[in-house]
Copies of this chain bind each other. A is one copy, B any other.
Amino acid sequence: MSAHPRLSINQATIKYATLDEALEATVAGGVEAIGLWREPVQAVGLDEAARRLADSGLRLSTYCRGGFFTMPEGPARRASIDDNRRGIEETATLAGAGAPGSTSVFVLVAGGIPEGSTDLIGARARVADALAELAPEAQAAGVTLAIEPLHPMYASDRAVVSTLKQALDLAAPFDPSVVGVTVDTFHVWWDPEVLPQLARAGNEGRIATYQVCDWKAPLPADVLLGRHYPGDGVIDFASLTEAVEATGYTGDIEVEIFNKEIWDTSFGEAIARTAAGFDAAVVPHLAASVRAAR
């Protein structure tokens, strides 16, 4: 069994898997790369996780995730910054252990408006402050911080970074090898500015990772879990994927799906259906496929 060589399984798609189960199911599915999450890595310890990743032969496509640094200065903010520092080190270690082609990309979700506050503008400014504090450490470790704009429905409680333009503006002061962006179709598909902003991201060399999954209405009761296999919803993967490919992005493409029903299937089934959705909805729009079709 073999999947498209650029497909990567983000571990959130098989959320209930331990690190070993995730590595094994990804290899068994013929997939070459994986995006790991911190909790399963920490469950076995970083060094052991790095050994197991190396043994798997898989590339690391991203490490998820840091961020959550919108709170005002104080002990909670210091704890968050410290945790992000550890995340940067973990990313470097794991990327070094992954197969050739692994990338040192640490995905950052900004965090929401602090409890009891209505100061969205202030919360956004503190994201910029946190990046300025973490960028030197990321640079020293050879890690790219990948700011992820999240869909605006999460702006209050999860991520005050809501559009690709905003993420690129936040990244602008830094070298693109140090601060880039995460482009996830679920979060950006609706944005009237997404195509020009993808072109801008390409010109600026900021696309650190491209993630794909689908959007379908109605949203479930927990709006975090409303993601679907590529092709099962309304997202126009043609225009988005072609725009990402036009930037020259040639990296792995992750499928990251939060969906209780998908989590309740076997890891093997989730990976097989992910690969099938990817083949049908995304692969035809990759630059190599478009060239081959001409």
Binding site for B on A (CB under 8 A): 112-113, 117-121, 124, 151-153, 155-157, 162-163, 165-166, 169, 189-193, 215-219, 221-223, 233-237, 239
Contact = CB atoms under 8 A, between A and B. Distances in A.
5 contacts: A113-B234, A120-B190, A163-B191, A219-B219, A223-B223
Contact of A120 (B151, B163, B169, B236): B236
Given A162-B192, A190-B152, A112 B223 contact: no
- Per assembly, the copies of the chain total 2
A163 B166 CA distance: 14
Contacts of A162: 190-192
A114 to B, nearest CB: 10
Contacts of A156: 190, 215-217, 233-234
Given A156-B216, A219-B153, A223-B153, A124 B235 contact: no
A171 B47 CA distance: 58
A174 B215 CA distance: 33
A190 B155 contact: yes
A194 to B, nearest CB: 10
Given A156-B215, A169-B192, 11 more contacts: A117-B234, A118-B233, A118-B235, A152-B152, A153-B219, A156-B216, A156-B234, A162-B191, A163-B192, A165-B193, A221-B221
